[in-house]
Structure 1
Amino acid sequence: MSRRHDIDALRVIAFGLLILYHVGMVYVVDWGFHIKSPTLLSWVEWPMIAINRWRMSLLFLISGLALGLVLARRAPAALAARRSWRLLLPLAFGIVAIVPVQAYCEARMLDTIEPGYGAFLLRYLQFRPWPAGTFTGAEYGFTWNHLWYLPYLWAYTLLTLAARPLLRRLGGARARDWLTTRGHWLLWLLPPAWYLFALLVLDPRFPSTHALVDDWFNHARYFVAFAFGVLIAGSDVVWARLRAVRWPLLALALCAGGINAGLRVVGHLIDAGALSRAPFLAVMPEAGWQGVSIVALAIYWWTALLGLLAWGIHALNRPWPGLTYASEAVYPWYILHQSLIVLAAYWLIPLGLGPVWEPLGVLAITVAGCVLIHELLIRRVRWLRPLFGLAGGPDRRAPAAAPPAMAQKSTPSRA
């Protein structure tokens, strides 16, 4: 099987956006994060909203594609063992060695602990609950912060592998073949309909926790994206159809996203009292435009995901300079980046560098830290590689699309 360069490229792009997004979290107004600068930037909210609607779903979709491409070539038990090793070992290492600095910086900014990282780390590694509010996830005794993606991906992978024998007995292969050929139109319609149901029914009842066990709204959207990736990974018909409709998908995504963003502005203006006498509110009351906004969001979510796949297969499925290196670097950078962001902000905020140099400094320190730690240590020290999800020696690559695609915030906590 030839390597799917578009999937590698989308993975790299997605994690590049993730770094920018988490830097933006330090500066966006009214969005909670582990560390917040007093220099808040109101304009940051809008590009972050535009990508926030689909960014994590894209990561799970790419992960599903990666799994789907190797399912036929590896025994389920061996695949489950390999994925468990490559997901749970970095998760455990990240919890004890990478994430604690975020908890320390957050607690120091909140003034809930005394200075001294060494003393904090000794207490943290006891995994005993802290007083609630000490840092995000303190009541659990530890936090996984941005590494929440790893246990979710592990759970979805094992659920998929465990369900395959049952699905085969129930005619799953025939259903898959029909869905990816004559019934592929259902793949365009059912996921956004499901997401609309999740927005209306699950989102109000199950706010995002990233704690795995009670995060039902997030599971409703992320597992659907993951399962879709597994389903279509090897379907030439679906990929050809996606490529053929890339322009309509782009137009639909822009239109639906624009409607959702525009109605969000309307909501802000109503909350501020600026539209309390607007004539159109008599024609479309608040419940009406909120309903339109939710429908537009569901359409934007799915058409953006499909559009990214469509344009990826059209424009990115060829070797790119540096793609091999970047594709390997994604996992270590994912594990490192948020701790570096929080630490850089912790260092720079007291300097009062202002709304330009401070965020640029945070971004520069984050990127430089990822480059140096990955290049000088992780790639070259054999025993470090599996701790950051890498296999084998420095220049070995996994088979086509096999590495688990990685990534917002937090723990078995309410992050």
Structure 2
Amino acid sequence: MPRRHDIDALRVIAFALLIVYHVGMVYVADWGFHVKSAYLAEWLQWPMIALNRWRMPLLFMISGIALGLARIDRAPLRFAARRCWRLLLPLAFGMFVVVAVQAYCEGLANGRLQPGFWAFLLRYWQLRPWPSGSFTGAEFGITWNQLWYLAYLWLYTMLLVALLPLRTLRTAEWLAGWRWPTWLLLSLPVAWLAMCRLVLAPRFPETHALFGDWTVHAQSLPLFLAGYAIAGNIGFWERIRALRWPVLAIALACITIELTIRAGGRYLPPDAAVPAWVPWAEVERIARAAYTWTALLAIFGWGQVLLDRRFRWLPYCTEAVYPWYILHQSLIVPLAFWLSPVQLGPVLEPALVLGGTVGGCLLLHELVIRRAPLLRPLFGLKRGRATAHCAAERVSHSLDLTKNARLQRSTPARSRVPDACP
């Protein structure tokens, strides 16, 4: 099966947006985060809501698609062992080493910890509960913060491997291959996501604690399994490519409805002439569900058109995604914590936090992590200083260019087709 460059590119773009989103969490008004700046902006809520609705669903679907394209059913037990190594080792290392600085800065910002990082670290490694309000996860004595995605991805992957021998998963693949009517393709996932928001979310708020986080599981696990089921289905991908304009229009309409209702509840006076018989909260949640699914379809449809090509930066960025994901928030939080008292202003401070985060990830990944065989597995990379993936990509790219050049020389000029690869 040919490599899906659009899926690789979407993964890179999604994690890049994750860095921007977490920097925005420092400055968005009325939203909690590990540290907050004095320069808070209410307007940031609107673009961040629009991004929030599909950023994690996209990552879970991409993870499922990647497993479907990898054909893990050929050696599921060996794959499960490798997956445990590549997910649980970075998770454990990240929790005990990388994320610790976030908890320390949050505790200092809350006034619940005394200065002294090494003393904090020795206490943190004991896994004893901290006083209430010390930092996120203090009741467990340790935290995984943004690394919760790795724990959930490991759980879903193990569940997928367990389901591989069962006919239920084959049935799901068959259903994914059926040519669904457009209205069903759009409405059934929206109905499920709406049920999650209407029924589960009020009873089970999102915690990212793995156990008891039923709303997140109900949304993320089906999207992960759906990604696996549709991965190799050419008909499905052709379908959403053809629907990319309509679903984009629907997604824009749905997020407009959600944001309008939110703005009305926030800014309209209590005595405003608003129809009382309309269940505005329910309409907002349904619009949110519809936006999530149609935005995903639009992203995948447009990704095929714009991103399914051999970008020269893609092999390097594909390798860098994992270390950058582990590192980025442990740079954002300390940078924001140290820069906030300096009062640099609402433009320079976030620019330095974002620039310092990107620069720190780049330097640590390029100069330290990828060049140290002992560190590579701790950040989810395969052993070896040169990655076989990057080398294979370069060789394959050269072979494709050579093949295309020979084809063009042997083809009459009037029938030559422009090369789609850069």
* TM-score greater than 0.5 by the shorter chain: yes
2:192 aligns with 194
Deviation at 1:64, TM superposition (A): 0.6
Task: Structure 2 unaligned segments of length 5 or more: list them.
Answer: 394-422
Matched, 1:342 2:333: yes
In structure 2, C-alpha distance between the alignment counterparts of 1:106 and 1:244, rounded to whole Å: 47
**Partner of 2:148 in structure 1?**
148
Task: Give the match's secondary structure for 1:383.
Answer: coil
SS at match of 1:49: helix
Secondary structure of the residue aligned to 1:203 is: helix
For the pair shown, the structure with the greater C-alpha radius of gyration is 2
Query: Would the aligned equivalents of 2:243 and 2:301 in 1 still touch at CA under 8 Å?
Result: yes
Q: How big is the shift at 1:392?
A: 2.6
**Aligned mates of 2:35, 2:277 — CA distance in 1:** 34
* Partner in structure 2 of residue 209 of structure 1: 207
Partner Cα separation in structure 2 for residue 33 and residue 184 of structure 1: 42
TM-score, reference length from structure 2: 0.89
| 1:285 match | 276
Aligned twin of 1:394: 385
2: CA distance between counterparts of 1:116 and 1:255?
51
CA contact (8 A) 1:391 1:398 kept: no
Q: Output the CA distance in 2 between the equivalents of 1:78 and 1:9.
A: 27
What whole-Å deviation, never above 9, does each CA across 1:164-183 have from its counterpart, x for those lacking one? 212x2x5x435522432333
Which residue matches 1:410? none
Partner of 1:318 in structure 2?
309
Does the CA-based 8 Å contact 2:324-2:361 persist in structure 1?
yes
- 3-state secondary structure, aligned to 2:212: coil
Q: How does 1:21-60 map to 2 (within 5 A)?
A: 21-60=21-60
Specify the alignment match of 1:247 in structure 2.
245
Could you tell me which of 178, 183, 187 is aligned with 1:181? 178
- Asked if the contact 1:178–1:184 (Cα under 8 Å) also holds between the matched residues in 2, the reply is no
Residue 92 and residue 184 in structure 1: after superposition, are their counterparts in 2 closer, same or farther (change >3 A)?
A: farther
What's the counterpart of residue 233 of structure 2?
Answer: 235
User: What is residue 224 of structure 1 aligned with on the other side?
Assistant: 222
In 2, distance between residues paired with 1:79 and 1:187?
31
Report the AA paired with residue 322 of structure 1: W
Residues 297-355 of structure 1: CA deviation (Å, up to 9, x unaligned) = 11101000111011111110001121110111000000000010001011101101110
User: Contact 2:250 / 2:291 at 8 angstroms: preserved in 1?
Assistant: yes
Structure-2 residue corresponding to 1:119: 119
- Matched to 1:114, the amino acid is Q
Q: Deviation string for 1:350-409 (max 9, x for gaps)?
A: 1011101111111111011000000000110011101000013232245999xxxxxxxx
Partners of 2:307 and 2:298 in 1: how far apart?
A: 13
Which residue of structure 2 lines up, in the alignment, with residue 331 of structure 1? Answer: 322
What is the deviation of 1:131? 1.3
- Identify the residue that residue 12 of structure 2 maps to in structure 1: 12
- For 1:226, give the aligned amino acid: F
Q: Which amino acid aligns with 2:320?
A: A
Q: For 1:45 and 1:277, how far apart are their aligned partners in 2?
A: 25
Q: Secondary structure at the match of 2:282?
A: helix
Q: Does residue 1:381 correspond to 2:379, yes or no?
A: no
Number of matched pairs: 391
In structure 1, how many angstroms separate the alpha carbons of the residues matched to 2:173 and 2:17? 32
**Structure 2 CA distance for aligned equivalents of residues 71 and 3 of structure 1:** 12
Partner Cα separation in structure 2 for residue 277 and residue 191 of structure 1 = 37
Equivalent position of 1:103 in the other structure: 103
